[in-house]
């Protein structure tokens, strides 16, 4: 377990495991790998899952007893939760896309 994860884990409290107060993200405040676009198809979803899971693995987050890795699939299958992160990453781009699609 990395020092960062150990430190975060030791100060765990209910509600801590989210990207920010307003965005749940991937269910961990250290999972900062937010997507810059919504997946368009199953292939995109698989690529996104691989990217996010690899990030969690490489950063030792999967070793945290408070991390629930099933949340990655749940978020990928819930467009509203994914969109929250896309907006964080590219607010201007998301505005432009929503105007274009109206």
Which of 64, 86 has the CB closer to ligand SF4? Answer: 64
6 forms part of the interface with ligand SF4 (CB under 6 A): no
Minimal distance, residue 99 CB to ligand SF4, in Å? 35
29 forms part of the interface with ligand SF4 (CB under 6 A): yes
72 forms part of the interface with ligand SF4 (CB under 6 A): no
Task: Pick one of 33, 67, 86, 88: the residue that binds ligand SF4 (CB under 6 A).
Answer: 67
* Overall size of the chain counted in residues: 102
H runs (alpha helix) in the chain:
3-10, 42-58, 70-76, 79-89, 91-100
Give the count of beta carbons closer than 10 Å to the beta carbon of residue 90: 16
Largest Cα–Cα distance of the chain, in whole Å? 46
Minimal distance, residue 47 CB to ligand SF4, in Å? 23
């Amino acid at each position: 377990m990395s020092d960062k994860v150990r430190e975060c884990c030791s100060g765990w409290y209910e509600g801590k495991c989210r990207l920010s107060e307003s965005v749940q993200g991937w269910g961990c405040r250290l999972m900062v790998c937010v997507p810059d676009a919504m997946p368009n198809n199953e292939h995109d979803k698989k690529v996104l899952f691989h990217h996010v899971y690899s990030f969690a693995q490489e950063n030792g987050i999967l070793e945290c007893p408070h991390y629930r890795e099933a949340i990655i699939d749940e978020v990928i299958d819930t467009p509203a939760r994914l969109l929250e992160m896309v907006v964080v990453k590219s607010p201007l781009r998301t505005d432009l896309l929503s105007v274009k699609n109206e």
